[in-house]
Structure 1
């Protein structure tokens, strides 16, 4: 039986100001994707020790979200689906043992198709996991090989076909701007996703990050560098196609049917508190940000010695203003100028209004009813626009 629909996040009154999220970073993958610069290891030798350390860290940090109830638990990575269902359950139990969790929280598992057999999906549907985020990336073999994905095109289709039988809340990832990907092939990818009836799609442009295999291949001329122009064109095709099929483009890279927005990610964009557990995981409490060491062995050693392997920074008023501008412009909720004036003061309000006009004149931003949002023309450029509006004095 499919999990019941989760609480409608589209109504912002459902987001409890005292709610928080927990992110669990699982730093293991079967193999390294050519484009990925996240922290992970392809060796699973320390998996048991890592799970024990993550559970220990949860206990060590149980007082950090005092007064907050946990609304979302998110398993990211890495590839969390390399863990067994029992291992995932042990971690969820540790969260419940150390924090107050709402009834029916959103609990997401990032998973790769090669880990999602029919039997595995059926078993997962009987765990507390109630949302799957599946890393499809493409339904075409040549794209998957170029990116060095661990699954093939058939596994991509088979796992979604099985997942929709057991889960109501499913998101899939797709990547656009892949070298030699035509607009026609991109639209076929989108059409295939729509065919399965999944209620949420996250989509990202292929980017060349330093210290990745893709960076080396591009530098050596083995692979053609992704084209910004092609990526922007495919992004706009995606927006038009998904909106025509009832999806709401609620954040730059995220599209959801009514009632299926990611509660975890929406909380990040709206500035809610969250705790990051595991190596390289980040945490935020409204005024400070901290991050764990991005090294599995150092993380394990620190936790085993009873120390938190993290660094911390206190955010200045300008930092918090800039983050609000960045996250606000990426979402349908935009930037509320009244909030800027109230939370950051007249200086920041005047600065924002003064910087705004060129973007309104160029049709990249809209300013209506006190809310600044990106236009269709400005969506793909939202991060660049935000950086131009940052307070840097």
Structure 2
């Protein structure tokens, strides 16, 4: 081999000598035409993808959005939440399988002025409904799924729980477990953890997913509304009592006043008796004794009942009982906060059929009304007294 002959590797590659006399392998390079072909192929692919996506975008813009022909099948419940927009509803319904596309729902809603005032709540749909039909479901508040429960005024907690257990899918134990943790209810601090009197009597529409904690908390929320409307805390300070004491007074008014026009007067009698020397602070209200003895609140206590050893026995213990004895409504809370002016210390319901009640400032006047009640019982009540 001469000095001019190239050095070859075992595989036949030429070794090119670097500076300094050392030799290195010569790298093979991709022919220019091949590289150009690869670049061209990449451009073709990118162009195809771009054109395809563009065509799809144009088609989506100008073609009718996907919509189910209907009528639908099966059942699905979707809930409209507070603050949901029409677009939120469309997305939720599409996700639930009710409508085929959000745009179809938006198109239906754009033609309906009422779509802007759809009410919060749970609605039942079929799957694969036409978007317009799904909108019609939401536009009718009668379609809101709810469990309507009415709690009358004047019930104790145990009676309220009995109604809830009867009218819902939960047993008494479920409600009682919630009541054992009063912090979950949102009771005011001055209730001292006792819900008696703070589960507000009203008609409630509970959603299909409502649990006992939500139901009871809703009743406390409704009580807070009533207390706010009556300015309960300000009224308590003005009258010289605590808010809890005013709630106790309200419960006594609920138990004692048969007619709306008498509530403010009954409130005044209670305050007069609490503060007057004539009565030594004794309220002598039958309903409190019945609460202590677990009798019906409207029962007539026996002599033995009147001697029961209980802080709720207002025949023997001066002042208010420890807390409410039942759930007062709006009118009773308002009356407790705004008693009628007057000097009465007594009242007697002289007609049990109409609820007519007379108020007296003196004991002698009170006895006169008692005799009137006795005559009513003898002549008109047919033994109801």
Please indicate the TM-score interval, normalised by the length of the shorter structure: under 0.3
TM-score (normalised: structure 2): 0.22
Give the structure with the larger strand fraction.
Answer: 1
Give the structure with the larger helix fraction.
Answer: 2
Larger Rg: 2
